[in-house]
Amino acid sequence: MTEQKPILLCMGNPLLDICVVDDGTLLKKYDLKANDAILADEKHKPLYEELVKSYKPDYVAGGAAQNVARGAQYMLQPKSVVYFGCVGNDQFSEQMRKAAHNSGLIVDYLVTEEYPTGTCAVIITDKNRSLVANLSAAQHYKDSLHIDLNEKWEIVKNIKFYYITGFFFSSSFSSMLKVAKHAAETNKVFSFNLSAAFICLDPQMKKHLNEIVSYCDIIFGNEAEAEAFATSENWETKDLRGIALKMANLPKTNKSRSRVVVITHGSEPTIVAKQDDYNINEYPIIPAKAEEIVDTNGAGDSFVGGFLSQYVQGKTIGECVNAGHWLANINIKRVGPTFPEEKIPYPS
């Protein structure tokens, strides 16, 4: 039997998620929003020790792009997805390797001796989640030590679909751009996630965003990120349908593919717009009862993973969205961005 060759490459910041349930005390103490994602600064440094010492956290191999990779892999044949990122040489990275191996995901980490593996505080309050990422090793991905190596670039060249998040801007924009340009030059699919509102609004990251968008065949985002993107472009609207359409029709490098923009909106229908097509489609989610919802952390990443698992197989956009909704529905009934060990077959 021929071994499965990877068809999807995801790149990002591998982080060990430290997940706790809180009554809002931590949000007030560390000046956090209930449903947000930020990078840690000095005032957040004591947070991680407090979570470990004062709570009973769940540990999950995370980082947005790695979550997507695991989600897509969950719905594909083993070894269909490969993941690049930078970790420390420690027990946390070994935990992530084992989790990836058990799920069939191929991880090809750059390992640094200088920094520990990155972590992300995940504070769950009443179905919401606040993410505070301490990137550490994750933000020290070096092109010359990894993607520029012949054997690594061969992996890139042999793959037809790519996914990278906006969070990677602060880690290795140069490697991101290399993959994006390769995709455009070879007519492969480059997909991208806005990731967080602050990425659209930060002046330096906005420069990166403006450059990378021209290479994007698929752009994912949620309602807050879409609104932040509109603000950054001085579009005076909060209409998600209109924003999605404007994003879809921004200038594009590879004109042989029409850009697709996918905006999730919590329990509201997912919005899809396509370049040069003014028919905006909306797809209802798969509802879950309030008592079934455990944690929405990772729901967006699960959606993207499900979407891409079908997209790489040539399915229609509607089928891709439905698969995303299906996987997100499974995920929100669990703690963190995780999936059942006994795989649930997708009823395609």
**Residues catalogued as catalytic:** 301
CA distances from 190 to 103, 150, 220, 221 (A): 24, 21, 11, 15
Is there a contact between 319 and 297 (Cβ–Cβ < 8 Å)?
no
DSSP string, 101-137: HHHT-EEEEEEESSSPPEEEEEEEETTEEEEEEE-GG
Using CA atoms, how far apart are residues 307 and 45, in angstroms rounded to an integer? 35
Q: How many other β-carbons are positioned within 10 Å of the β-carbon of residue 308?
A: 30
Using CA atoms, how far apart are residues 316 and 347, in angstroms rounded to an integer? 16
Tokens representing 265?
A: 């909106």
Query: Which stretches within the chain are classed as H helix?
Result: 25-29, 45-54, 64-74, 91-103, 150-157, 169-185, 197-201, 203-213, 223-232, 240-248, 299-311, 317-331
Tokens representing 39?
A: 């990078």
Using CA atoms, how far apart are residues 173 and 193, in angstroms rounded to an integer? 14
User: Exposed, middle or buried, 346 (CB in 10 Å: 0-12/13-18/19+)?
Assistant: middle
Is there a contact between 173 and 17 (Cβ–Cβ < 8 Å)?
no
Is there a contact between 44 and 18 (Cβ–Cβ < 8 Å)?
no
Is there a contact between 217 and 161 (Cβ–Cβ < 8 Å)?
no
Using CA atoms, how far apart are residues 328 and 177, in angstroms rounded to an integer? 29
Using CA atoms, how far apart are residues 172 and 170, in angstroms rounded to an integer? 6
Is there a contact between 100 and 107 (Cβ–Cβ < 8 Å)?
yes
Tokens representing 256?
A: 């042989």
